[in-house]
Structure 1
Amino acid sequence: MGDKANAHPGAAGRATTADQPSSVRNVVLVGHSGSGKTTLVEALAQTAGAVNRAGRVEDGGTVSDYDEIEHRQQRSVQLSLVPVEWGGYKINLLDTPGYADFVGELRAGLRAADAALFVVSAAQEADAVAGSTRMVWEECAAVGMPRAIVVTHLETARTGFEELTGVCGRIFGGDDPDAVLPLYLPLHGPEAADGHAPVNGLIGLLSQKLFDYTSGARAERPPGDEELPQIEEARNRLIEGIIAESEDETLMDRYLGGEEIDIKTLIDDLEKAVARGVFHPVLAAAPASNGGKQGLGTVELLELITGGFPTPLEREAPAVTTPQGQARPAISCDPAGPLVAEVVRTASDPYVGRLSLVRVFSGTLRPDETVHVSGHGLTDRGHEGRASHDVDERVGALSSPFGKQQRTVGECIAGDLACVAKLARAETGDTLSSKDDPLLMEPWAMPDPLLPVAIQAHSKADEDRLSQGLARLVAEDPTMRLEQNQDTHQVVLWCLGEAHMDVALERLRSRYGVQVDVVPHKVSLRETFGERSAGRGRHVKQSGGHGQYAICEIEVEPLPAGSGIEFVDKVVGGAVPRQFIPSVEKGVRAQAAKGVAAGYPLVDVRVTLLDGKAHSVDSSDAAFQTAGALALREAASEVRIHLLEPVSEVQVLVPDEYVGAVMSDLSGRRGRVVGTEQAGQGRTLVRAEVPEIEVGRYAVDLRSISHGTGRFDRSYARHEAMPPQLADKIRQQAENGS
């Protein structure tokens, strides 16, 4: 692609629009935190003429400016869209966070894009290609998404370009490392005093031309005699890799027969192989230096995007149904077709309110029209996430984001992206469609949040705003789940990790004016009797007028797990009048709900009413309720009460090299490993049963153990007795009121 003429950049200061799907390219940037994705986006925008030489837009901000939290934390925490123009094409660059806690933003970017750029830093060791990046590569491979690799930080490289390219071939190429090959080799300048030779240009392997960026703009020249030998081997390997993926089955025979294959044929085959997702070129890129306007490799990268990446017309759209679940025919990327669009990100802007980033898959979205909003009620793992909803809403203004600016656009056609203002009811993942023909798109996969964070309002004023703030927070982020725990009476935010938690709490404070305190998360413990016991409840008071008189005698015996509470009446001779027997049961059950030892609900016992006494005047419903509660407490004081803790079924998926560490860690959490099995190439599924109290922070700890490559699921299995020493500690805490 290096022999193409320079394309004309787009003009800064105006909205970037598309008039047909074939002129759109949607590209998501993927890579670990610190790999240089945002810097690369800004370099591409500068080369395309969308920003000035300092990488600034008119308001003084950068193209990536959006969230104040990102500036304070010095890391990307949400998906951002940067649209640019190049050679008559509109390129939507989707910059994703690299930190694992914000994988939901990454998944949204993958949903909105038609191709992916994997950004790998040469500033790290050769074996440091993050495990999380490898996992995303496999996700893209599973759906056939075209991918290319961009090597950054060559100016501070610890790993040579050739060595890192070889690592990418082994990791990303799998059985076919020749499907991951460089299109250009870096051109090094004179060696500096520190022994480092800066990269100031690129050598095009197909065109055999040199592209010198020393002046800050790409200058083309032929290679010298001393430079040709170094590219011969890499060029031959690239040509063979392209021919191996060619749809022309005669090409390999012609090449092996000694025929010189025309460069145009090779480039055409290369672009087709990239678009089909079977060949993955490697390029190098760096921001402009010396005040230049073109960063190293950015022109080549823009040419690859416009020439090698597919148009939205070539992508198969997600399946659609009616909101009631009835199947509908597949949709196509046709601006004149029925409207089907999807909200891929929701954010709040301090000036315009809620902004929804929307990818249009079919039809054309226009401002001021009424659309139908359909939403899913379940996460991909079946947990109740948020309420399903179907509502008509009026679309506000459409805009194209650029840094902190929102540039108004007249419409958004199929294949393109835009921001929509004032969709008050639409949430991330919702479908926008015609109000006369409502549709619902198949949801994209989202990880289940598994880190519980218990919160409470800091003050009475915060308490009044908390509910609304939490609802808006969860509407924006589908990887966050809100729970009102009926057993522990705690408000729990389920997050993906500590960084995810920090951002959520900061957004509550800064966006919605709600200050909260994080409190220890409680698990839903239970109590039960360890053996048979008896108790006598005596409630006798006389204070003038009608007194209170009720005596009952009960027997309590333990039952198998899951039995709940049984109440049996064995009173003979009318010792307890029939009308007061339900009162005794009500008192027993009320006390059982409060607990009899540490304040947790009592379960799995049979309570038998054996005898009692009543007074013709002073006995009452309330008196026998109190007597029943007293009898149960006395019975509990005579025997050991077991504390029951919830046990989770945990399934951990990790690369084989971490299986031993994971199993050892689970054992240290009082877990029981119940089995292991192979789960694809190089991965093992570890199944275990672990007390829930021990896996509260497992989402964080597993990431550390597996270097970001492990995943786990958990589901409730049962309650079982807690070890006596731990139960005694919890009882003591309950007695001390802590």
Structure 2
Amino acid sequence: MKAYEAQKIRNVAILGHSGSGKSNLIEAILYTGGKLDRISKPTDAAKITSSLGLTSLEYKDYKYNIIDTPGYFDFESEVISSLLAVASVIIVADSTTSLQVGTDKALEFADDNNLPRFIFVNKIDSEKADYYKVLDELKQRYGKKIAPFHIPWGKGDSFKGYINVVDLFAKKYNGKNCDIVDMPDDINDELEPVRAMLMEAVAESDEDLLEKYFNGETFTQQEIHRGLRKGVISGDIIPVLCGSTAKSIGIHTLLDMIADFLPSPLDKMTIDKKEFEGQIFKTLIDSFVGRVSYLKVIQGSLRPDMEVNNLNKRTKEKIGKIYTVTNNGLEETELANAGDIVAITKLQTSLTGDTLAEKLDAKTQELPKFPKPQMLVAIEPLNKGDDEKILQGLNRLMDEDQSFTWERNPETKQTVVGVQGDIHINSIKDKLKEKFGVDVKIEDLKVPYRETIKGKSDVQGKHKKQSGGHGQYGDVKIRFEPSDKKFEFTEELFGGSVPKSYVPAVEKGLIESMEKGVLAGYPMTNLKATLYDGSYHDVDSSEMAFKIAANLAYKKGIEEAHPILLEPIMDLTIIVPDEYMGDVIGDINRKRGRVLGMEAYKQGKQIIKAQAPEVEIFKYAIDLKALTQGQGYFEMEFNGYEEVPSQLAEKIISDAHKESSKTE
């Protein structure tokens, strides 16, 4: 594929609710552009898309770089990555249902990133299609911004094609494709109000056009296109198009309108440097090629064999070959100009978000802000001995997916993975199998409980052992009480009852003892121990003897000081639409949580500040999506530990004893 200048490039991301037909739209575009022989049926078995996909094609002297994004909210980070590279978005809406959550979410992404957008209402050939219902719902939400560029011609059995409201021509579906035909006479009642609304949008885009509109003058087609393009690029106009991806209806017009109305890279950024600058917006791990980096050229040009700087890591990278990504794979290219999107292979240190540049003093691009993990789970290998392969696989997968985290918890001895939801963790599980040959099982997390005391005690710990020859002797008296610190040790010895040389052994013995509490074997915390008396033997005393004495004092002292069980408490920041506030707050209360406060957010949403026990919210990501129809979002952070209610504590302690007896 030849190199294109920025004004002839269109970088577009496809967004929308899962099942709306995003991937099918990509196929329809490729089919229309002569790159595919057929379009998959919507009923064909489809694998859940977990990663963005890039494909480029040439159509009527333009290069289209089109990025397909997953529809499931668990893969929101892929949408965020795609928006680093594009100048506009197409949002696919399903005409057979009400406006979906994913449509709203996509429009919100476009607003937040100041990106012009089209809404493509799909499946208009379906018996269940209701274009005007979707249009009305869009108008209710976004008002005068909504501008229908298409209206359907007929419906269900009487479906014939669609009307181009902008250029006033009809396209009739002949069973294979669409032909331009004369405007039907019976469409005027539907066309006139939509056309009038479109002319009003044109008028409001420019003062001269507004004056002409008020004077009752008719706009030329050139003025209409100029006004609409200006409004679309500014975000004041959201065009609505319609079609059918399954039958390639409306796709020619969609491609033409992308070129006519959506921005080139020049409309969204200043290109004024000769030296190369670019940003990686996606990293993929390919089983055959290895690391593949998708990169947007921001300034200058990129050529094979260039040496560039990674501005984030302060390392150098050697560019090998440059590729255009097509539906047939990677196609070598000799040049990529500013505004274009290409693929590079085998970069050594560069990852998603990194800025590459010829000069070290170039501007470092802003890093993408991915959502924090919303759900923690444990994964373990099905086959013993695969632990190392799991860790290697997770590290490699993090190169291409920065929205999950993992760590090996030394306390629970679990591999803990932080993900966005259940679909996300299942995707990671599948990738570990497919790419690294590791079968894993998903387990619930073990809660890192703690133990502490609420009371005080004063005890003696005495270790005396004589078995012939050298004996063992250590004797300590210790007061135990609660502390604000994890562990606090003091000594108030007088008269040499315990030699100073043995005091560190007493402290060490207590620290080692605190690794296991007396209730359920969980680590002890918030404890103060004061060594105030004891005795020793000139010959038989030793550091080990005093460590054992300290352990005896610990066990006795903790049991007498009202030991309790503690559980981790998490801070929650929850963002939900107003209409779900009651349900979400009620659910927090059922999870033994407490609401700390609420505040208004944006677009009819509220922020709820709350706290809840960690054990109750391991799967809160799933619960919140169910409560809010996928519109809720939250972040959590560890706050501290609080006492477990007595009835729950009894069961936890009992279960811990049963588990301990199994391993003994």
Q: Deviations over 1:353-374 (max 9, x none)?
A: 1111111212222222222234
Q: CA deviation at 1:698?
A: 1.0
Structure 1 CA distance for aligned equivalents of residues 448 and 363 of structure 2: 40
> 1:654: which partner in 2?
576
| Runs of 4+ with deviation above 4 angstroms | 435-439
**Structure 1 residues not aligned, in runs of 5+:** 1-14, 57-61, 65-70, 190-195, 290-294, 317-331, 376-388
Which one of 22, 26, 42 corresponds to residue 27 of structure 2? Answer: 42
Structure 1 CA distance for aligned equivalents of residues 162 and 46 of structure 2: 35
Distance verdict in 2 for CA 1:710–1:595, change over 3 Å: same
Does the 8 Å contact 2:353/2:366 carry over to 1?
no
> 1:152: which partner in 2?
122
Structure 1 CA distance for aligned equivalents of residues 127 and 81 of structure 2: 31
Q: Deviations over 1:581-623 (max 9, x none)?
A: 1111110111113333222221222111132222212211111
Does the 8 Å contact 2:275/2:359 carry over to 1?
no
TM-score of the superposed pair, with normalisation by structure 2: 0.94
Q: CA deviation at 1:580?
A: 0.6
Q: Secondary structure at the match of 2:606?
A: strand
Does the 8 Å contact 2:284/2:399 carry over to 1?
no
> 2:173: which partner in 1?
213
TM-score of the superposed pair, with normalisation by structure 1: 0.85
1:616 matched to 2:616? The reply is no
1:157-556 aligned within 5 A: 157-171=127-141, 173=142, 177-188=143-154, 196-244=156-204, 246-247=205-206, 249-287=207-245, 289=247, 295-316=248-269, 332-334=270-272, 337-375=274-312, 389-403=313-327, 405-434=329-358, 436-437=360-361, 440-556=364-480
1:103 matched to 2:59? The reply is no
- Quick one: which amino acid aligns to residue 27 of structure 1? V
Distance verdict in 2 for CA 1:132–1:630, change over 3 Å: farther
Structure 2 CA distance for aligned equivalents of residues 350 and 695 of structure 1: 36
Q: Secondary structure at the match of 1:90?
A: strand
Does the 8 Å contact 1:165/1:181 carry over to 2?
no
Q: CA deviation at 1:716?
A: 2.3
Q: Deviations over 1:529-557 (max 9, x none)?
A: 12112333232233444222212221211
- Quick one: which amino acid aligns to residue 398 of structure 2? V
Distance verdict in 2 for CA 1:612–1:404, change over 3 Å: farther
Q: Deviations over 1:462-483 (max 9, x none)?
A: 1232322221111211111123
Q: CA deviation at 1:428?
A: 1.9
> 1:585: which partner in 2?
507
Percent identity of the aligned residues? 33
Does the 8 Å contact 1:539/1:627 carry over to 2?
yes
Q: Identify which range, 533-542 or 347-356, moves more after superposition.
A: 533-542
Does the 8 Å contact 2:93/2:103 carry over to 1?
no
1:616-695 aligned within 5 A: 616-695=538-617
Count of paired positions: 659
Q: CA deviation at 1:149?
A: 0.4
> 1:140: which partner in 2?
110
Structure 2 CA distance for aligned equivalents of residues 363 and 729 of structure 1: 66
Q: CA deviation at 1:342?
A: 1.7
Structure 2 CA distance for aligned equivalents of residues 373 and 500 of structure 1: 30
Does the 8 Å contact 2:310/2:316 carry over to 1?
yes
Structure 2 CA distance for aligned equivalents of residues 212 and 581 of structure 1: 93
Q: CA deviation at 1:439?
A: 5.1
Q: CA deviation at 1:48?
A: 1.4
Q: Identify which range, 147-156 or 518-527, moves more after superposition.
A: 518-527
- Quick one: which amino acid aligns to residue 574 of structure 2? V
Does the 8 Å contact 2:285/2:397 carry over to 1?
no
Does the 8 Å contact 1:122/1:157 carry over to 2?
no
Q: Secondary structure at the match of 2:314?
A: strand
- Quick one: which amino acid aligns to residue 535 of structure 1? V
> 1:594: which partner in 2?
516
| Superposition CA RMSD, Å | 2.2
Q: Identify which range, 274-283 or 424-433, moves more after superposition.
A: 424-433
> 2:18: which partner in 1?
33
Q: CA deviation at 1:105?
A: 0.6
> 1:319: which partner in 2?
none
- Quick one: which amino acid aligns to residue 585 of structure 1? E
Q: Deviations over 1:170-199 (max 9, x none)?
A: 22x1xxx2221211211127xxxxxx3253
Does the 8 Å contact 2:281/2:295 carry over to 1?
yes
**Structure 2 residues not aligned, in runs of 5+:** none
